[in-house]
Amino acid sequence: KAKSDGRGLTRIFSDELASAAETRRELQADLEEAWRLRQFRLVYQPIYEADSRRLAGFEALLRWTHPTRGEVRPDQFIPVAEETGLIARLGAWVLETACTDAMQWPDSLFVSVNLSPVQFRDGAVEAQVYRALKRSGLPHHRLELEITESTLLQKEVETQAILADFRRSEISIALDDFGTGYSSLRYLIDFQIDRIKVDRYFVEGLADKSSSQAIIQAILALASTLGLKCTAEGVETEEQAEMLGAGGCTHLQGYLLGRPLQPEQARALAHAARHRLEAS
């Protein structure tokens, strides 16, 4: 299509493509280097109970500070780490670091860790999860694993067995970005899911899009019927928080309630929240 638009545009188009490919190649090499030089770290975004607004736990989010590019977003580098295979080592490190950090919080709080479909595909995920729990000493029920619908699409029988095993071990499973993937309601029944995370896209449209309102209402009704917990992502306004709480959403996460925090800040918040509770 670009060709029919004339030479100028074609050249711009292919230059852009070439530079995208180049950026990707650079990222691949830089990621290996980053792993060697330990340029990765985790930040923790608080998750609150919707009705009481009590702190319930934190989601661990990966950060990479590149020496010249600065902060590289996980949406950009995780797909590359999945291609190169680095995700296996990186994913294991995330699990162990998150479980170890969570040991510093009051034991009523959970930690939620994002898992890549590739960690399931290569069969390493079970060993990684149990090793992280064992090395950190974190009780199983304090760990939640966030998977996406694309994880459920691949190696269905094997994945179902792994998730059932996690469930038997009291590890929780959350279905992340719910509503944006190849959602099939069958997943909620066939796979042992504890929680749905409503994607930020729907939360964003809550105030002025009736379609988003209808979808959120349907998701919340479904979650409640199936006895699933539900976290809304990307809550930025009090209006959104109120609509979600009224609709039966159990947990809220977003800039309104808190940005992702450095581990020390998360730890301080976790302990401050406990003291507030004890005082009340």
- Which residues in this chain contact ligand C2E in the complex, by CB under 6 A? 45, 61-62, 73-75, 78, 94, 114-116, 146, 176-177, 200, 233-236, 253-255, 260
Q: Which is nearer to ligand C2E, 44 or 187 (CB)?
A: 44
Q: Which is nearer to ligand C2E, 41 or 168 (CB)?
A: 41
Interaction site with Mg ion (CB under 5 A): 114, 146, 176-177, 233
The option from Mg ion, ligand C2E, none interacting with 62 (CB < 5 to 8 A, set by class) reads ligand C2E
Q: Which is nearer to ligand C2E, 13 or 93 (CB)?
A: 93
Nearest to 229 by CA among 196, 191, 187: 196
What is the β-pairing status of strands 251-252 and 229-232? parallel
Q: Which is nearer to ligand C2E, 136 or 253 (CB)?
A: 253
CB of 265 to ligand C2E, least distance (A): 15
Nearest to 222 by CA among 187, 253, 173, 252: 187
CB of 235 to Mg ion, least distance (A): 12
The option from ligand C2E, Mg ion, none interacting with 255 (CB < 5 to 8 A, set by class) reads ligand C2E
CB of 89 to ligand C2E, least distance (A): 12
Q: Give the list of residues 6+ apart from residue 78 with CB closer than 8 angstroms, or none.
A: 62, 87, 116
Q: Which is nearer to ligand C2E, 188 or 240 (CB)?
A: 240
